[in-house]
Chains A and B, each alone.
Chain A
Amino acid sequence: MLPSETVLHTTMRILLVDDEAGVLRALTRLFERRGHEVRTAASGEAALAVLDTFTPDVVVSDHKMSGMTGAVLLDAIGRRLPAARRVLLSGYAEVEGLTGVRFVAKPYVAAELLQACE
């Protein structure tokens, strides 16, 4: 295994989106402790603004948020950054026509969420 590949796998740029500050902090802790670079946004609109200065490898978003829903956000990100892995946190929501998105139930189990982001 080449060193560059190892680096790619171990440190990812992750964008976390949730309107609940406590959830954002818990998620940030989860990923930062594993050495990932994390940015957060408290809404879908704010997350799209972050994309101007930050290109994430992974986007983890809550679904039910005031304003733009997580599904709409991930759909938009999918078109802007086709390579980004997208994870929708929240229930078991399946949204029509939303492909290439992984679903993780909320409250999440850390191992399950980490696996979905790999």
Chain B
Amino acid sequence: MTTRAIPPPRRLLWLARHLMITASVCGTLLHVVILASMWSTAAAPWLAVLAVVTVSGNIALTAPGYRWFGPERAEAVRAVFNVVIHAGLGVISGWGQPAWLLLPFVTSITAAPPSQQVWARVVAIVIVFDGTALATGGRAIDAVTFTGVSLFIQLLLSAHLELTTNLLAERDRTLAELDAAQRHAVAQEKLASVGQLAAGVAHEINNPMCFVTANVADLLDELRRAPALPATLVEYRDQIIPETVDGIARVNAIVGDMRRFARSDPEPLVTFALASEIVATTRLARTQLGPGQHLHVDVDADLWLHGSPRQLDQALLNLIVNAIQALPGPGDIRVRGRAIDDDQLELTVADTGTGMGPETLARLFEPFFTTRPVGSGVGLGLAVVHGVAAAHGGRIDVDSALGAGSTFRLVLPRARRSASDGAARSR
């Protein structure tokens, strides 16, 4: 997925820079105000020392501190440093209101996105600060007021950060969904254009194959009827032409699959019961099971489809044969048919076989894509399943990973049972 990197807006950079400047200036100013208000007292030299220590300590713990300790620990150290210094400042200055102002100031610059750690830090600062104040002559009304302001500011910051984080997560999710939808659309378009090509090629091949098939079959008939053949023609009669007829039948089967993939053959549509089709098809497929391989079938009764039972049989058979071939030895194949809701049903074919990697998955439904050795399948099986699913107004998806088996899932629209169709078609 390609996420576009969005540069931080200039306004945000401006705010960040001015926040830093304002924090430094205000912090320094608070110290100056406290120092000025107590200029003529004995505490003044101590306050001056604390002011210098505070400012230089905070500067040291920001940029260099982040480098030495990492941002997380630097902020923790800074919080401890600030609370100790400022509580001390409160004690020395006798807890005037400028000293209390340092409480929301210190809690609000705990930085970092809101987390339990940050909240623990804020609460610890408040407890130490308030505790020291109340034990050394601070007024309870100031403690309540400034603690309230501190918590309010912290909650406000947390709310804004939470909102931003959620919006970003939502944006990422939307982008991912859009990306998936786009990929799906591109894949569908590709299959549609390949389908058109396949339909065209199949039609063009089918026409000459029609008379080639008939002519070669007639020739074989004539040869078999002829009373006395030269030795060379006997070989044609017994071996060469029968092989040619087989070859022609294979070509015709491939062309037939291409037409089914391309959906160029509209068929009579009927309403039929899913269960009876599955039972018939699985009976056929069971003959291909190897030793230790089991086919489990579980289909809910009273599920009806509108479409072509012959095409659906073909799709299901292709899926089951693929599943059998994915089993390297003993294993299980599960065919499951059930209602999703009132409008849709799903038909899943799951195997415990070798599974597929991402490269195979990406090209799975392309016609003539095959993982089998040359000569043992042309790669039209799943393309046909895809075509059948689309022709029935449904879709197919697959869930697979190497070594974890595969599950193919056909989602099809449900039909309402109609008595006449149900009676007309019985197997």
Contact = CB atoms under 8 A, between A and B. Distances in A.
B354 interface: no
A64 B259 CA distance: 14
Q: Is the interface of B mostly helix, strand, loop or mixed?
A: helix
A106 B206 contact: yes
A80 interface: no
A107 interface: yes
Contacts of B252: 107
A118 to B, nearest CB: 18
Interface residues of B, number: 21
Interface string A75-105: 0000000000000000111100000000000
B210 A25 contact: no
Contacts of B209: 107
B268 A23 contact: no
Task: Report, as a range, how many residues of chain A touch the other chain.
Answer: 10 to 19
Contact of B210 (A20, A29, A93): A20
Contacts of B268: 92, 94
A26 B214 contact: yes
A106 B268 CA distance: 17
B14 interface: no
A108 interface: yes
Nearest to A22: B211
Contacts of A20: 207-208, 210-211
Nearest to A96: B266
Q: Which of A20, A22, A26, A107 has the most CB of B within 10 A?
A: A107
Interface in B44-102: none
Given A91-B259, A107-B210, A26 B265 contact: no
Contacts of A25: 211
Contacts of A26: 210-211, 214-215, 218
B203 interface: yes
B325 interface: no
A36 B268 CA distance: 31
Contacts of A110: 214, 217-218
A43 to B, nearest CB: 14
B214 A108 contact: yes
Nearest to B255: A107
A49 to B, nearest CB: 23
15 contacts: A20-B210, A20-B211, A22-B208, A22-B211, A23-B210, A23-B211, A27-B214, A30-B214, A92-B266, A93-B265, A107-B210, A107-B213, A107-B214, A107-B252, A108-B214
Given A20-B210, A23-B207, A110-B218, 12 more contacts: A22-B215, A26-B210, A26-B211, A27-B214, A91-B259, A92-B266, A94-B266, A107-B209, A107-B214, A108-B210, A108-B214, A110-B217
Interface of A: 20, 22-23, 25-27, 29-30, 64, 91-94, 106-108, 110
